[in-house]
């Protein structure tokens, strides 16, 4: 129950923020919001000892129980890692934002969006039900869209928000299809139940398709190639948003999805190669593009893409452990997953600190352009120290936590050469080669952050502000993250034994408690191959950095029109052009044309379906005979209906329309349904009166001038629709598959205390529907009233 409440608290706080914001100084609203993630972090931290001991916590609130959709929360080692990151980093980001954002900003709106996102992320990682997970998944996309577009007056902010929304939501829809397929296979939406039963469905044709669709959702969310293009443009968001969403939370949602579904799809060759190959290429592509960036936030965006690729590739390699079951040799595989989880934490610390550093530079100097920076170390010594720690950790240097996980990464990709499954003996050599090249590039862009920003020549003439150190309050959050970067290096096994161990058990349920599943983390393993690779990275990376200006022209070889961004923009432009052409084609402004489209579709869809399935057959032999009075009423209705077509005035048409309505009421009397007849008479009377009142103010009815082909087409459509509706009604009447529900309503007096069945249905049995319909009419009435008032005000201004 505690975890369920933890998910809901940020949403409840988001509702309260606007009211609190009006009653306190704008800057103090941040302190109110800070209490939410801080309290949640403390609550989750209290579960750590129990979760480390193997405990899991499950709580279910019934929702759509008949469909198997319930609000079930599940806390285990894997969700614990992400929960602590979401609330812990969230607390530091909010603390940072209090000093970063100006009081002139719409702080109330900002914190509402941030709390919405926090609650959505907690919902993603703690949900056991696939449908509930999907709801929270898309809520993260919506709230991140609002956060990225926070400065909506900027064109780039709107563009970045739109881009991230389109790509991540598209992936989310694909993921939803994968979830539905998994439910079709297993009959359950529960992740735990799917893991327990999936083994018997791996040969089903839906299994592979479900796997690829789930991966599509994960790759779009975690900015994997080729879907990474949204992340650099999302840097238009305020820096606190980038530090939170794009280093520690939203981009890690796809990582979480892959880790959570490793027990479902792990061990399959397609999963292994897709996750590991996409990840390793994203690692290289992100690091390669990061080097050419001149904007510090863009550089960090591509570095984030690269680091996410590193983590993704490790999860792919680690999934091989589920191929043949646990053995002494399985450590080769499981160590990859352990390194992925470890680097997941490390990346959140050093990347969060670096984003905040870049925000400080931008806040205090008014620019993030590396070409205008330099020599800031003497002006901003604390900021420089944090940048040094974060950058060197990202580069994989000691004594920082990134060195430990990077060494484990090198060891894992080296072991990949010796895997005797999935033909890795042939392709496995590529993994350490690509990993080493990408690590060299990572070293280069890490040095760019430190040396080109804080060392070198100071350029005061190119700066908008005089350089100075940031306020103490703005330095607290990145300083805490920097301390964690160093602290984890010296005490890594505190995390390994208490946080990573239960997470490993969650990723490998069959291996829980197995010896060697969680390795001992140490900084020194002797002069082994991973250390030599690190030394090579430092040497080659230093040379490439020193001679950067000589080889940077490699980025100009391919024209910009070949980029994925250009492809995306081109697709967007062509889609807009196509939709504009289509809209102009069918939006003629004539109601007659729109009715033609609707009826033509009805004829093709319903009539075609009836012909293909043979459902147009009906049998009236068992029906009651039609009496003479019924024939008379039908012919009167037919005559009134046909006469409306030839009416020359609105008054005549209204009267003939009333004849139709009152004739139906007479039918209800004949069929012994007085309640329906009374309702029909009242409705028809009110409708006729309103028609007469409204049409009195309209111009005279002019005769429509139509061509003969148009009249023929209208006649064909009218006859076809009438025939289909008649045949459909007769087919339904003659092929009853279920007992009519009308028998239930015959006891209306006993069930609802009303003698009029229609009234009891509207006011009791379906009271909520009626109430909502009334609300809709009320809203429409308000809209009409507003339009009338606006028009009246405009007329007064014109006078």
Q: Is the pLDDT of residue 796 over 50?
A: no
pLDDT of residue 798: 47
Model confidence band, residue 695 (pLDDT cutoffs 50, 70, 90): confident
pTM given for the model: 0.84
pLDDT at 464 over 90: no
The better pLDDT of the pair 697, 132 is held by: 132
Residue 89's pLDDT is 96
What are the pLDDT digits (tens) for 327-369? 656 777 889 999 999 999 999 999 999 999 999 999 999 899 9
Residue 56 has pLDDT above 90, yes or no: yes
Half-sphere exposure for 602 (CA within 13 Å, toward CB)? 16
In angstroms, the CA 352 to CA 483 distance is 12
Element (H, E) at 745: helix 742-745
Query: How far is the C-alpha of 321 from the C-alpha of 343, rounded, in Å?
Result: 19
Please give the span between the terminal C-alpha atoms of the chain, in angstroms, as a whole number.
64
- Mean pLDDT over all residues of the chain? 89
**Tens-digit pLDDT profile for residues 655-679:** 898 899 999 999 888 888 887 888 8
Q: Given phi > 0 = left and psi -120 to 50 = alpha, else beta, which region is 551?
A: alpha
> In the predicted model, what is the mean pLDDT of residues 447-463?
90
Contact (Cβ atoms closer than 8 angstroms) between residue 363 and residue 246: no
Q: Is pLDDT at 795 greater than 60 in this prediction? A: no
Q: 506 with 75: CB under 8 angstroms?
A: no
DSSP string, 548-588: HHHHGGGGGSS-GGGSHHHHHHHHHHHHHHHHHHHHHHH--
Distance of CA 285 to the CA centre of its chain: 24
| 799: helix, strand or coil | coil
Residue 560 has pLDDT above 90, yes or no: no
Residues 6+ apart with CB under 8 A from 189: 68, 69, 129, 130, 131, 179, 183
Which two tokens mark 102? Answer: 């100006």
Greatest mean pLDDT range, 399-413, 516-530, 553-567, 611-625: 399-413
- 799: pLDDT strictly greater than 70: no
Distance CA 546, CA 432 (A): 25
Q: Mind giving me the DSSP string for 78-123?
A: HHHHHHHHHHHHHHHHHHHHHHHS-TTS-HHHHHHHHHHHHHHHHH
The confidence score (pLDDT) of residue 445 equals 96
Q: What is the pLDDT of residues 586-613, one digit of tens each?
A: 888 888 888 889 999 999 999 988 888 8
SS3 assignment for 401-415: HHHHHHHHHHHHHHH
């Amino acid at each position: 129950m505690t975890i369920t409440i933890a998910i809901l608290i940020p949403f409840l706080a988001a509702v309260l923020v606007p009211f609190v914001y009006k009653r306190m100084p704008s800057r103090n609203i941040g302190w109110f919001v800070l209490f939410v993630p801080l309290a949640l972090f403390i609550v989750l931290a209290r579960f750590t000892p129990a979760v480390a001991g193997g405990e899991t916590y499950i709580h279910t609130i019934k929702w759509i129980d008949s469909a198997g959709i319930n609000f079930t929360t599940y806390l285990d080692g894997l969700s614990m890692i992400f929960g602590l990151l979401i609330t812990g980093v969230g607390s530091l980001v909010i603390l940072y934002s209090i000093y970063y954002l100006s009081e002139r900003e719409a702080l109330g709106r900002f914190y509402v969006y941030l709390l919405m996102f926090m609650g959505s992320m907690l919902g993603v990682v703690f949900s056991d039900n696939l449908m509930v997970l999907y709801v929270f998944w898309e809520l993260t996309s919506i709230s991140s869209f609002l956060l990225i577009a926070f400065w909506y007056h900027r064109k780039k902010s709107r563009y970045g928000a739109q881009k991230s929304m389109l790509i991540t939501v598209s992936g989310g829809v694909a993921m939803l299809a994968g979830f539905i397929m998994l439910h079709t296979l297993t009959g359950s939406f529960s992740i735990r139940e799917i893991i327990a039963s999936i083994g018997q469905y791996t040969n089903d044709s839906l299994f592979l398709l479900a796997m690829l669709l789930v991966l599509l959702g994960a790759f779009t969310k975690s900015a994997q190639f080729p879907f990474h293009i949204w992340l650099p443009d999302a840097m238009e968001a305020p820096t606190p948003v980038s530090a939170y969403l794009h280093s520690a939370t939203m981009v890690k949602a796809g990582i979480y999805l892959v880790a959570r579904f490793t027990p479902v799809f792990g061990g399959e060759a397609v999963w292994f190669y897709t996750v590991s190959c996409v990840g390793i290429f994203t690692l290289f592509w992100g690091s390669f593009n990061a080097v050419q960036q001149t904007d510090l936030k863009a550089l960090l965006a591509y570095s984030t893409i690269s680091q996410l690729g590193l983590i993704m590739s490790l999860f792919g390699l680690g999934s091989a452990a589920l191929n043949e079951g646990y053995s002494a040799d399985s450590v080769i595989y499981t160590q990859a997953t352990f390194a992925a989880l470890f680097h997941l934490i490390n990346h959140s610390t050093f990347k969060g600190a670096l984003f905040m550093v870049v925000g400080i530079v931008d806040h205090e100097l008014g620019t993030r352009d590396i070409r205008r920076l330099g020599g800031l170390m003497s002006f901003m010594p604390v900021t420089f120290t944090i940048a040094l720690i974060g950058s060197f950790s990202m580069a994989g240097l000691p004594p920082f936590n990134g060195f430990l996980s990077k060494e484990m990464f090198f060891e894992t990709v080296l072991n990949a050469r010796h895997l005797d499954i999935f033909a890795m003996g042939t392709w496995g050599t590529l993994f350490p080669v690509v990993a080493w090249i990408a690590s060299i590039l990572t070293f280069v862009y890490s040095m760019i952050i430190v040396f080109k920003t804080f060392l070198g020549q100071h350029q005061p003439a190119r700066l908008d502000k005089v350089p100075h150190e940031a306020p103490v309050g703005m330095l607290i959050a990145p300083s805490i993250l920097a301390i964690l970067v160093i602290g984890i290096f010296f005490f890594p096994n505190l995390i390994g034994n208490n946080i990573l161990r239960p997470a490993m058990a969650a990723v490998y349920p069959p291996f829980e408690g197995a010896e060697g599943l969680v390795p001992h983390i140490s900084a020194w393993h002797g002069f082994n191959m991973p250390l030599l690779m690190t030394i090579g990275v430092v040497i080659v990376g230093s040379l490439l950095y020193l001679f950067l200006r000589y080889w940077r022209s490699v980025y100009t070889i391919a024209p910009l029109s070949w980029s994925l961004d250009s492809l995306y923009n081109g697709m967007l432009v062509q889609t807009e052009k196509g939709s504009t052409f289509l809209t102009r084609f069918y939006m003629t402004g004539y109601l007659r044309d729109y009715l033609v489209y609707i009826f033509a579709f009805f004829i093709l869809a319903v009539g075609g379906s009836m012909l293909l399935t043979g459902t147009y057959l009906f049998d009236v032999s068992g029906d009651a005979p039609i009496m003479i009075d019924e024939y008379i009423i039908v012919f009167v209705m037919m005559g009134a209906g046909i006469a409306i077509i030839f009416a020359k005035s609105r008054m005549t048409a209204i009267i003939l329309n009333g004849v139709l309505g009152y004739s139906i009421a007479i039918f209800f009397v004949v069929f012994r349904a007085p309640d329906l007849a009374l309702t029909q008479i009242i409705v028809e009377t009110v409708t006729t009166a309103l028609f007469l009142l409204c049409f009195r103010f309209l111009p005279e009815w002019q005769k429509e001038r139509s061509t003969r082909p148009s009249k023929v087409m209208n006649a064909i459509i009218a006859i076809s629709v009438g025939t289909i509706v008649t045949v459909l009604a007769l087919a339904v009447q003659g092929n009853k598959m279920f007992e009519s529900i009308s028998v239930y309503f015959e006891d209306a007096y006993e069930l609802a205390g009303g003698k009029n069945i229609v009234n009891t249905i509207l006011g009791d049995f379906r009271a909520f529907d009626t109430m909502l319909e009334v609300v809709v009419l009320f809203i429409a009435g308000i809209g009409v009233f507003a339009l009338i008032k606006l028009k009246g005000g405009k007329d007064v201004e014109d006078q």
